[in-house]
Every structure is written in structure tokens, then in C-alpha cells.
Amino acid sequence: MSDFPWDGHVKITVSCRGQEKIRDTIAIRIPSWCENPQLPVLPDGFTTRTDKGYLYMTGDWGQMTLEMNFPMEPVLLQADPNVREDIGKVCVARGPLVYCVEEADNGALLDHLILDAQTAFEEAPDQIEGNRIVRLSAHGWRQSSSGEGGLYHRYRPAVLQETKITFIPYFTWANRGENEMKVWLPVR
């Protein structure tokens, strides 16, 4: 039983039909996005090993419930520097989901948003078009555009205004009318 991808708490019930116990090995996938999984506590006599992203548990299995937790805190991901378009930018992931910013939440000109690399994300349950989601909010800035001086003009330092940036799971974008969307944001 789990509530993936919204919550990382997982329960697995093991039962042996018609037998009291069976000696066997059960393997559980440890997601690569999870740095600090809380793995099940097993009774005495069990052995465990990890290999290629799996936890292998060997022992005498009877009726028992395994509980584990895969924390899903938001993280910033960066691309390899050879991906030139994403140099100096990050994307946000929470658990197995990649997030994006959308004009419906953040206004027009998403290219003017800059994410604070030290931000503490706020998480809130929400819905988009009947899809349950976890919405993320973070601190950042919006670079103001005066529009003065024409298309090209003498250099002036950018003016940054503090703003809250709202992120939604990537799979939910484009469900609230036509609007701009971005995954990779500049970071400072």
C-alpha cells in the first residue's frame, strides 16, 4: 500500500498461503532519486544486501508487514555543462516527479524568473483538472523589464524584484488554458 508519487510511506504485507513460513528472498527497488530511504526493520534471522538499486531480504517469511519511507523533499537538479542551453539553470524534482512553472501561476514572461538556490520549498496539496497534486512554492526574483531604450541600448544592471515562484508537476501543465511553461530556471 502506498500513496506514490505524493507520499513516500510504503507498506507491504507478506503472507504465506497454506504455510506458516517460507524461506525466500524478497527484493524491493530503492528509487535512485531517494538519498536517505528508511528501510524496513526485519526480525532476527534475516539477512539483507543491496545491489544495483535493490534491497534483497532473505529469511523465513510468515505473516508480516514491511514499512519503509522514501522521503520526497524537493531538490534542485542541474544538467551536465555540455547541455549548453541549461548552463546556470536548474529544474526542480520531488520524488519521481519533475516540476515546472506555468504562466497560470506565475504571470507572463517566465524567462524573467530567477530561483533562489537556498530557498526552502513550501509544499501544499492541490488539484488541477481533477488531478491530485503537491504544489511547490519557492523564493526567487523577477527581473524587471523597463522596455526603455528600444530593442538594444546601453547596459544597465538588471533590477530584481522578490517574488514567490509556484511549481506544479510537469504532467499537469497546459490544463488551464494556453499559457507559457518552463522547466529549467536560472538560479542564483
* pLDDT tens-place string over residues 98-135: 999 999 999 999 999 999 999 999 999 999 999 899 99
Whether residue 68 has pLDDT greater than 80: yes
Per-residue pLDDT, 108: 95
Q: Is the pTM of this model over 0.85?
A: yes
* Sign (positive or negative) of CA dihedral 27, 96, 5, 73: positive
Antiparallel, parallel or unpaired: β 113-115 and 7-14: unpaired
pLDDT above 70: percentage of residues in the chain:
98
HSE-up of 31 (CA within 13 Å, CB side)? 19
